[in-house]
Amino acid sequence: MARTALPLAVVVADTGFGWLVGTSAAGLAAWAALTAAVMLLAARRPLVAFPIALASALLTGGALALLACTSYQAGRHVTSRRQLVLTVTAAVAYPVVLLAPTPLPATEPYPALARIALLVAMPLVAGVHFTRQAERLRRERRRHAERERSRERRRIAADMHDSLGRWLSLVSVQAAALEVAPLPADQRPVARNLAHAARTAVDELHAVVATLRASPGLEGVDDVVAQFRRAGVAVTVERSGPARPLATGDAGHAAYRVVQEGLTNAARHAPGEPVVVSLTWQPDALLVAVANPTHEQVGGAGGTGLAGLAERVRSAGGLLRVRAEPGGFRLVAMLPVAPERVEAAP
């Protein structure tokens, strides 16, 4: 019902405007059909319908409701930098042509400027802003869901380790004691098989617990960068130095969280500005940096996000720093790498 009501309202509004200015019946019918066609196109291809509505408004001097509606819908569906450039170019062309010196009354541009602001600029900006806000809320919900899933995995892992692991460890110890006990010859194979089964069960339990506790590490940096790029953030990744294993899995997750937190703050406080993520491998450490041009508070209100991130980096044996630079802020974490193995001489 709503999909039909909006196009019908636009057709009625613009046809009514044409009737007020004295358009003929044939002209009104043609205009109603054109408006309905553009509105139907806007439902499927709003970025194509928008320049058609601009051209119709320039040619007829009407199409006011159509122009406002397609401007808003175009803003809602701008998802890439290229689409934004093309849409803004079309929007700028409208006032340029409208206000160009012609024999038409151009001595008083204020009504034309008001039309541009009310029917093109404001709906277009509102549509872009609505889309950005909706995408930000979706990202927040995804992050919240990921945190909840990770918390539930850790809880299950802790329960399994504390309850089942304790009993399996006890069985393993008793089976090992039975294995070395003086038993009749026909019972020794049974004891050995029991001890082997107990040790295997303990090993498999530890593997399951480790899987449940697993969280994104350094290998997840490219994925989180791709997610922010799809959301419209201009992210550049710079890598230098030969990659080496990190000291612990916690260090890898801390590196992932530094990149995620830095990109989140950049998207929140400096939307549309470029962000540089750098991974610099040194002989004894990995430097993870996120540089962005924002001058706002990093880490959310009161810096709670940054404080939690600093604690996570610290628990992984690293160090976190935030530096104000002439171009903005730079979030830097230093994380330890695993020591190189020294091969023994033959």
Is the per-residue pLDDT at 344 higher than 70?
A: no
pLDDT of residue 280: 96
Q: What is the pLDDT of residues 176-216, one digit of tens each?
A: 777 777 878 888 788 888 877 877 777 677 666 666 666 67
> Which segment, 43-47, 295-299, 302-306, is predicted with the most confidence on average?
43-47
Residue 261: closest CA among 171, 123, 147: 147
pLDDT of residue 133: 86
pLDDT of residue 105: 47
Q: What is the pLDDT of residues 54-85, one digit of tens each?
A: 888 777 777 788 888 888 888 888 877 788 88
Higher pLDDT, 130 or 297: 130
pLDDT of residue 331: 92
Query: What pTM was estimated for this model as a whole?
Result: 0.44
Is the per-residue pLDDT at 322 higher than 50?
A: yes
